[in-house]
């Protein structure tokens, strides 16, 4: 079926640690995006990454479309990185975004 | 450059009242979307507009209507609000439908008593 699965569901880290979040997506989903929903509820675009690797400061993302997964790397975590990280991909059948359940990240000072 | 602007940010309604949520984007995008997010869950698509003059149902359209007023503006109307519609509503836009990044507004937090 059409699926986007994220792991881990929860992650608690100390400030300064590095983390890797994973998103697996089914054959009929493409053109992945990563979002950060901060504790105030705002949804922030992090990356639009159908394939390849992109970097933005301490964050980077890699999508291997042939193997149906994407990874979000956060280095030197800060408390402001806390929140929920969502990945979402477009369903080929109807061009609607299919959302993962999110990874809740807590960075402790 | 404001991106996607939603109004109001917060609203409390009584059951049966009506209201319209407003959304405007200044990125000259063709496609616009309305989502709802319930506590602890991802987003679900209510309605979308692939281009000016068109609207289509998403995953959860019941109880809602939309209007694509022009290329910039896309409104969501609750005709007779119900407690089950208590949620956070997000508007988004993209250059085209499918295969383009979506950009989101800050959300409208709606409570229906």
- The answer, yes or no, to whether the previous bond of B8 is cis (omega within 30 of 0) is yes
**How close A50 gets to chain B, by Cα (Å)?**
9
Q: Does the CB of B42 have a partner CB in chain A at under 8 Å? A: yes
pLDDT at B1: 57
Question: Which residue spans within B1-113 are E strands per DSSP?
Answer: 4-7, 10-13, 19-25, 31-37, 43-49, 56-57, 64-68, 74-78, 87-94, 103-104, 108-112
| CB distance B92 to B104 below 8 Å | yes
**How close B80 gets to chain A, by Cα (Å)?**
26
Mean pLDDT confidence for B107-111: 96
Decide: helix, strand or coil at residue B83.
helix
pLDDT at B96: 86
- Find how far residue B33's CA is from the centre of its chain: 6
pLDDT at A55: 97
Q: Can you tell me the distance from the alpha carbon of A2 to that of B83, in angstroms, rounded to the nearest whole number?
A: 30
* CA distances in angstroms from B55 to A64, B7, B50, B60, B66, listed in the order given: 34, 20, 7, 14, 7
A41/B104 Cβ within 8 A: no
Helix and strand numbers (H, E) in chain A are 0, 11
Residues with Cβ within 8 Å of residue A58, at least 6 apart in sequence: A74, A75, A76, A78
B107/A43 Cβ within 8 A: yes
pLDDT digits 0-9 by tens, B34-84: 999 998 788 999 999 999 989 999 999 999 999 998 999 999 999 999 999
* CA distances in angstroms from B92 to A41, A50, B25, B38, B44, listed in the order given: 14, 19, 8, 17, 12
A95/B99 Cβ within 8 A: yes
pLDDT at B83: 96
pLDDT digits 0-9 by tens, A56-68: 999 999 999 999 9
Residues with Cβ within 8 Å of residue A26, at least 6 apart in sequence: A1, A2, A3, A4, A68
C-alpha closest to that of B36 among B78, B75, B88: B88
B97/A95 Cβ within 8 A: yes
pLDDT digits 0-9 by tens, A24-83: 999 999 999 999 999 999 999 999 999 999 999 999 999 999 999 999 999 999 999 999
Q: Can you tell me the distance from the alpha carbon of A23 to that of A15, in angstroms, rounded to the nearest whole number?
A: 23
Between B1 and B45, where is the model more confident?
B45
- CB atoms closer than 10 angstroms to residue A28: 14
Reading the block at residue B54, the tokens are 């068109």
């Amino acid at each position: 079926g059409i699926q986007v699965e994220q792991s881990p569901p929860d992650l608690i880290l100390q400030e300064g640690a590095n983390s890797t979040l994973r998103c697996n997506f089914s054959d009929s989903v493409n053109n992945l995006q990563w979002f950060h929903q901060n504790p105030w509820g705002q949804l922030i675009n992090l990356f639009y990454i159908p394939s390849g690797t992109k970097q933005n400061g301490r964050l980077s993302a890699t999508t291997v479309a042939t193997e149906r997964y994407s990874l979000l790397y956060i280095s030197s975590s800060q408390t402001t990185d806390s929140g929920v990280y969502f990945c979402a991909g477009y369903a080929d059948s109807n061009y609607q975004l299919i959302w993962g359940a999110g990874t809740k990240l807590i960075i402790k000072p | 450059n404001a991106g996607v602007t939603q109004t109001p940010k917060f609203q409390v309604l009584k059951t049966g009242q009506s209201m319209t949520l407003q959304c405007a984007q200044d990125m000259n995008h063709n496609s616009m979307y309305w989502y709802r997010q319930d506590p602890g869950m991802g987003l679900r698509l209510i309605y979308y507009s692939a281009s000016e003059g068109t609207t289509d149902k998403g995953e959860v359209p019941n109880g809602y209507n939309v209007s694509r007023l022009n290329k910039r503006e896309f409104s969501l109307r609750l005709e007779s609000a119900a407690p089950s519609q208590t949620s956070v509503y997000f508007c988004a836009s993209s250059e085209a439908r499918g295969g383009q990044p979506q950009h989101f507004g800050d959300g409208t937090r709606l409570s229906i008593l």
